[in-house]
Amino acid sequence: MPMEETRKMSGAEAVLRCLELEGVKVAFGIPGGAIIKFYDELYKRRSFKHILVRHEQSAAHAADGYARVSGEVGVCIATSGPGSTNLVTGIATAYMDSVPLVAIVGQVATSFMGRDSFQETDIVGITLPIVKHSFKVRNFDDIYRAVRGAFYLARTGRPGPVLIELPSDVQRQEGVLKEEEISFRGYSPDGFPDLKMLLDVVKFISMAERPVILAGGGVIISKASEELIALAEKIKAPVATSLMGKGAFPEEHDLSLGMAGMHGTMAANKALCEADLIVAIGVRFSDRSIGKPVDFATSAKVIHIDYDHAEIGKNVRAHAYLAGDAKKVLREVINALGGINLSSRDNWLKKISDWKKELNLSVEYSGPVRPKHVIGALWEITKGDAIVTTEVGQNQMWAALYYKVNKPRQFITSGGLGTMGYGLPAAMGVCLANGLEKPVINVAGDGSFMMSVHELDTCARYGLPVKVFLLNNRSLGMVRQWQELFFDKRYSETIYSREPDYEALAKSLGAEGWTVSDASQVRGAIERALEIPGPVVVNFIIPQEEKVLPMMVPGGSLKDILTEEDLERR
């Protein structure tokens, strides 16, 4: 969108004009004293839809969810001091998962800085380790470069959050907004891929008999799912994903292994352990995905494809690597591959097929409600076409294991930071991003849900049809599971002595709500929730002792996996 205006305007109006130039459609925030001029201009100009949340952390999570689904930059806004510090966890969540986010925060007037003024906090210093860049706006002439530069940095290269600090007096300054070229010395995000080891990559792939592809969130960010499918089918390699890579490869595909890692499928983990070649694409080999790095893939060659050079060799040694945008790099690999003796992989694929049969999701819909009932019925009803957000903990892993995702950007979760309270506000952002075209489901645990339950009010005020399916075990379930298995059942501060009336709580905040305690009622409850136009909370009572299995032993490797059979033999 070209610049047209040459008239004088306030700094706050200039910020709004820059946001218009960036095509911002929605932002999430809460006003306050140091950002009040910005909100006054927003009232007069109405440049975009603004969602008034109940807590600034939710504003960051909602912007994060919006960005993950839309692929655009999410925007959150807060005032100075406690307003800006309340954004910190949400900013860190976006940083760990490479989500493009711009956080605009008010600050005390420049003349009051450094004086411990009311609601003054060094938010730039606080967030320094968890942002891609920060802009300290100190006069009107800084505004154009700060705002346009923030969006450019957030969305290009490896995406991430960028902070803009906007003092209250600068919002009131007047000037003429001048267009300028946005570039940063030493930052070249569109550089040509590093393909100097392409021939080695082709050789390793051609010689392998037991190849496995491990796909991560970088595939989704690069919009490289089609290329990933083409590569897997061309070389007949099964595909496992990290938690963040869920959706990068269709999970109903014959070559899909599902999620790998601490609570991954047995097929994915066994395949990674026995592979002679691992092609890792857009993954950072986190501890939750591979366990102890020194014990990972000791018999395999590793090819690492990633945009960020810093990730290559950081956790796992790469025998060959290609650096660059996954979409571009995979096209080069596919084009460079000649004929491969695919018949040599038949035995490998047969073994993979047998492993996949071990994941038995069939259950009888009777007796107590179990997570398999809820997630399984949800998948059957929606046919995988819903967008699912999760909280963090057991609920997150059950959703990842049992809800098959066939397209990118339909499974939204906090991976790197593991932020409890993420799912509900993220679902609000998802609703705004998808135009209410698909059901938005928040799979929650009672521990995480209570950390952001106030946002049900936001859903009700704006008519956001978020469906919360609460897997309620009256405890901090994942920590309780660890205490049971590894701490001799010393349940220190993980079991709640009482619980809220979730039906009454939901209704008081403007949502519908009811409780389900028998498996025979699960399917009907989900269908009923999906038919209601507004927000709904379905409180599914599950056994407190229900566990997420398989489970990698803490501090172990992908070979150190506990199953239900292992626990029965104890």
Alpha helical stretches, state H, 97-135: 123-127
**Which amino acid would we find at residue 199?**
L
- Each residue of 211-247: pLDDT tens digit? 999 999 999 999 999 999 999 999 999 999 999 999 9
Helix-strand-coil percent breakdown of the chain, rounded to 5? 40, 20, 40
pTM for this prediction:
0.96
Query: Residue 160 in contact with residue 131, Cβ under 8 Å?
Result: yes
Residues listed for the chain: 570
pLDDT in tens, the chain (570 residues): 455 567 899 999 999 999 999 999 999 999 999 999 999 999 998 889 999 999 999 999 999 999 999 999 999 999 999 999 999 999 999 999 999 999 999 999 998 888 888 999 999 999 999 999 999 999 999 999 999 999 999 999 999 999 999 999 999 999 999 999 999 998 989 877 999 999 999 999 999 999 999 999 999 999 999 999 999 999 999 999 999 999 999 999 999 999 999 999 999 999 999 999 999 999 999 999 998 999 998 999 999 999 999 999 999 999 999 999 999 999 999 999 987 778 889 999 999 999 988 665 566 778 999 999 999 999 999 988 899 999 999 999 999 999 999 999 999 999 999 999 999 999 999 999 988 778 899 999 999 999 999 999 999 999 999 999 999 999 999 999 999 999 999 999 999 999 999 999 999 999 999 999 999 999 999 999 999 999 999 999 999 999 999 999 888 899 889 988 888 877
Long-range contacts of 221-225 (CB under 8 A, 24+ apart): 221/98, 221/158, 221/159, 221/282, 221/307, 221/326, 222/282, 222/307, 222/325, 222/326, 222/327, 223/71, 223/327, 223/408, 224/248, 224/281, 224/282, 224/325, 224/326, 224/327, 224/330, 225/249, 225/407, 225/408
With residue 390 as reference, give the H or E element that holds it.
strand 387-390
Residue 44: Cβ-neighbour burial (10 angstroms; 0-12, 13-18, 19+): exposed
Instruction: Catalogue all structural domains in the chain, each as residue range(s) with its CATH number.
Output: 8-176 (3.40.50.970), 198-356 (3.40.50.1220), 371-569 (3.40.50.970)
* 411 three-state secondary structure: strand
Q: How far apart are CA 262 and CA 163, in angstroms?
A: 33
The confidence score (pLDDT) of residue 439 equals: 84
Yes or no: say if 285 and 308 are a contact pair by the CB < 8 Å rule. no
Are 5 and 17 in contact by the 8 Å Cβ rule? The answer is yes
CB 269 within 8 A of CB 561: yes
- Count of Cβ atoms closer than 10 Å to residue 181 Cβ: 6
Whether the Cβ atoms of residue 90 and residue 77 lie closer than 8 Å to each other: no
Q: What is the pLDDT of residue 532?
A: 95
pLDDT at 362: 63
Q: CA 420, CA 441: separation in Å to the nearest integer?
A: 16
Taking phi over 0 as left and psi of -120 to 50 as alpha, with beta for the rest, 123 belongs to alpha
pLDDT tens for residues 376-414?
Answer: 999 999 988 899 999 999 999 999 999 999 999 999 999
Q: What amino acid is encoded at 376 in this protein?
A: G
Both structure tokens of 318: 């790469």
Look at residue 2 and give its three-state secondary structure: coil
3-state DSSP assignment of residue 21: helix
In the prediction, which pLDDT does 175 show? 97
